Amino acid sequence: TMQSDKGAGLPDKKDMKRSPASYPENGPSQILRLVLQELNLFYSRDVNGVCLLYDLLHSPWLQALLKVYDCLQEFKERKLVPATPHAQTLSFEVVEILHATSSSPEIQELKQILQAPHFKALLSAHDTVAQKDFEPLLPPLSDNIPESEEAMKIICLVKNQQPLGATIKRHEMTGDILVARVIHGGLAERSGLLYAGDKLVEVNGVSVEGLDPEQVIRILAMSRGTVMFKVVPVSDPPVNNQKMVYVRAMTEYWPREDPTIPCADAGLPFQKGDILQIVDQNDALWWQAWKISDLDTCAGLIPSNHLLKRKQREFWWSQAYPPHTQLKSTISISMEEEDDMKIDEKCVEADEETFESEELSEDKEEFVGYGQKFFIAGFRRSMRLGRRKSHLSQLRASVGCASGCYNPVGAAYEEVVRYQRRPSDKHRLIVLVGPSGVGVNELRRHLIELNPNHFQSAVPHTTRSKKSYELDGREYHYVSKETFESLMYSHRMLEYGEYKGHLYGTSVDAVQAVLDEGKTCVMDLEPQNIQTARTHELKPYFIFIKPSNMSCMKQSRKNAKIITDYFVDMKFKDEDLQEMEELAQKMETQFGQFFDHVIVNDNLQEACAQLLSAVQKAQEEPQWVPATWLSSDTESG
Ligand SMILES: Nc1ncnc2c1ncn2[C@@H]1O[C@H](COP(=O)(O)OP(=O)(O)OP(=O)(O)O)[C@@H](O)[C@H]1O
């Protein structure tokens, strides 16, 4: 097998005969062949390490790559040169001669061809290229230009109903009208002619000196078709060599509700959980980004991480009862960043399409009524008949967010990367989240029943004593209160609570144990505990289960029972469904950014099918995950 193996990757003789030109004598693929022949000798002598090198050099991809390289090299040598740079003149001469000769049908035809406009244009283009005559002809400069005169640029842009994709502002000191921003993917940017910092001198022949930005915008608005700018180009146009960054929006943003945005029309609205591609971070306050779901529009303005965090904090501050633990940091951070805001453009910046421009004044910077309302207090679990979960929540409240209570002013954007699980990687933890009674357990049970060898729950811990028919590690891990508490305080518990004086909870290790067996662990979590589970080791995928609208729910839950601790399960009442809907909304508002997928549990069969497909996609298809998950993977090897 070794022999035949070795022969397999070498370029075969047939290949070589067909195109000898693609293997120049000193070309890398020729050299590689010689090296391989040489190595072959060592290979047969079993020299240490040769095998590895041989296999590498032998690999078909490397050979193919070198072949491509050789071909490209060859074409690089071959340059096309025009036979004459004056084809047009030649053509005229031929036509002259043809006129003088006696006419035949062939001569007539040739004359027609040579005189046809498109043929003439073709020859003209040929000559232009042959003579490398690309520059426009400029009239000679007059001798008496004052030294101090600024170089100007005249730019013509043809706009077809579309916005210019640039904003202007007035320079605070000089009063000049400057291009404030060029939006990525917009008309101005695509032209490659207009840069942020360019000084406008004229628009459509009208001098802008002494004009308000609003007046400039009015001139622009009146122009249809071609717009002509005379500009003094910025001395060093900004180069955007930043790498593209993808982020998940951890909050929502509505530019129209933000009085501080330099231009609301250029703003990019987004919702929690949207994945954005940030294309420009040159400005400390306003970045440019695309939504990856909507890549064919031009980019929009979004607040920078800093700015958005500040906006969040201001809103947070104005809320009634922020937990006191966060008050201190709120004050210190906002004071620290006060200076940052002062560098904001005080100049007008406006979009020409709206004919609006705003003077940003100090008092206008205050951000009022921003975004949604944060839901602060822990969710009121339905205290329906003292179900175990309500005890869990109570305990959690008394422990005081020990398991990572979500800090709403944490991060504005979270950097994300595409993660494709390799077959050798562990499965991702599947977490179902949803309001009580929506069917989280029902769906989880169905999924596990579909393939119990593949889908599994984690074995919970408890401090209660083992019953005779139970097995340690099957129903529960039975541990002492001390052990349980040490797991709790070392953050090894994803969720825990007290019930009838005993502690219950699910540990990270119990989940790991399922994943280590090559299985998919499926669990449900209270949304408050999402953050605890979001680690690179578990790479959880969160599926939000939500109720359908009231009338559908009334119908589909007609015969369903609320599962209680009492012996009698009760039917869903209208207020149960109402409460479920409200709770679902609150969960989505506060935690929506973490949900990778949302399933409406109306018809059970359909919801089950959707769940199965979502779980498969989570494991098999690329998904956006926090960038830190993958960087910590490489760190740990
Ligand atoms: N799509 C559905 N159609 C009809 N009944 C359903 C559907 N989904 C769940 N149910 C029923 O609703 C009841 C509550 O479901 P389940 O116990 O799974 O809720 P849950 O979200 O786990 O709530 P909790 O966390 O409070 O236990 C059960 O009786 C279940 O059979």
**Residue 412 resides in a domain:** no
Please give the share of the chain, as a percent, with pLDDT higher than 90.
Answer: 42
What is the average pLDDT across 96-101? 90
For residues 622 and 503, state if they share a domain: yes
- The span from the CA of 247 to the CA of 426, in Å, is 25
**Residue 346 resides in a domain:** yes
**Residue 239 resides in a domain:** no
User: What is the best residue among 563, 564, 577 to mutate for testing ligand 1's pocket, by most ligand atoms within 8 Å of CB?
Assistant: 563
For residues 197 and 223, state if they share a domain: yes
Task: Respond yes or no on whether ipTM tops 0.90.
Answer: yes
561: Cβ below 6 Å to ligand 1?
yes
Helices H, strands E: what count in the chain? 22, 25
60-77 and 28-44 are packed helices; what angle lies between their axes, rounded to 10 degrees?
A: 150
**Residue 620 resides in a domain:** yes
393: Cβ below 6 Å to ligand 1?
no
324-336 and 305-318 are packed helices; what angle lies between their axes, rounded to 10 degrees?
A: 130
Token pair recorded at residue 216: 């400039």
Alpha-carbon dihedral 23, 25, 29, 35, rounded to 10 degrees: 150
Task: Write the CB contacts of 131 (distance below 8 Å, at least 6 apart in sequence).
Answer: 85
**Residue 6 resides in a domain:** yes
**Residue 372 resides in a domain:** no
Q: Which of 516, 541, 519, 520 is nearest to 530 (CA)?
A: 541
pLDDT band (50, 70, 90) for residue 634: low
The per-residue pLDDT for range 556-585, each reduced to its tens digit, is: 888 888 776 655 677 888 888 999 999 999
For residues 259 and 222, state if they share a domain: no
**Residue 358 resides in a domain:** no
For residues 73 and 91, state if they share a domain: no
Model pTM score: 0.66
For residues 588 and 507, state if they share a domain: yes
For residues 469 and 574, state if they share a domain: yes
The CATH number covering residue 192 comes to: 2.30.42.10
Q: Which of 602, 596, 617, 585 is nearest to 533 (CA)?
A: 596
Tell how far the Cα of 564 is from the centroid of ligand 1, in angstroms: 11
Question: Which residue range(s) make up the domain with 514?
Answer: 388-405+421-635
Tell how far the Cα of 402 is from the centroid of ligand 1, in angstroms: 29
Q: Which of 185, 198, 205 is nearest to 238 (CA)?
A: 198
Token pair recorded at residue 600: 């409406």
The number of folded domains in the chain is: 5
DSSP class of residue 251 equals S
For residues 57 and 98, state if they share a domain: no
For residues 109 and 47, state if they share a domain: no
**Residue 369 resides in a domain:** no
Please give the C-alpha separations between residue 46 and each of 1, 42, 366, 495, in angstroms, as whole numbers: 15, 6, 76, 57
The per-residue pLDDT for range 5-20, each reduced to its tens digit, is: 333 344 444 444 444 4
For residues 93 and 48, state if they share a domain: no
The per-residue pLDDT for range 282-333, each reduced to its tens digit, is: 888 999 999 998 877 789 999 998 888 887 777 655 543 333 333 333 222 3
Q: Which of 153, 157, 177, 182 is nearest to 167 (CA)?
A: 182
For residues 176 and 265, state if they share a domain: no
Q: Are 522 and 455 in contact, with CB atoms under 8 Å apart?
A: yes
Listing DSSP states for 278-342 in one string gives EEE--SSSEEEEEEGGGTTS--EEEE-HHHHHHHHHHHHHHSS---HHHHHHHHHHHHHTHHHHH
- The distance between the two most distant Cα atoms of the chain, rounded to a whole number of Å, is 119
Residue with tokens 């518990």: 493
What sign has the CA pseudo-torsion 255, 258, 260, 265?
positive
- The span from the CA of 620 to the CA of 245, in Å, is 24
The CATH number covering residue 460 comes to: 3.40.50.300
The CATH number covering residue 280 comes to: 2.30.30.40
- The span from the CA of 557 to the CA of 588, in Å, is 22
Residue nearest (by alpha carbon) to ligand 1 atom 10: 439
What is the average pLDDT across 324-349? 31
Q: Which atom of ligand 1 is nearest to the CA of 382?
A: 26
The per-residue pLDDT for range 443-460, each reduced to its tens digit, is: 999 999 999 999 999 999
For residues 123 and 64, state if they share a domain: no
For residues 8 and 32, state if they share a domain: yes
Tell how far the Cα of 481 is from the centroid of ligand 1, in angstroms: 32
Q: Are 616 and 454 in contact, with CB atoms under 8 Å apart?
A: no
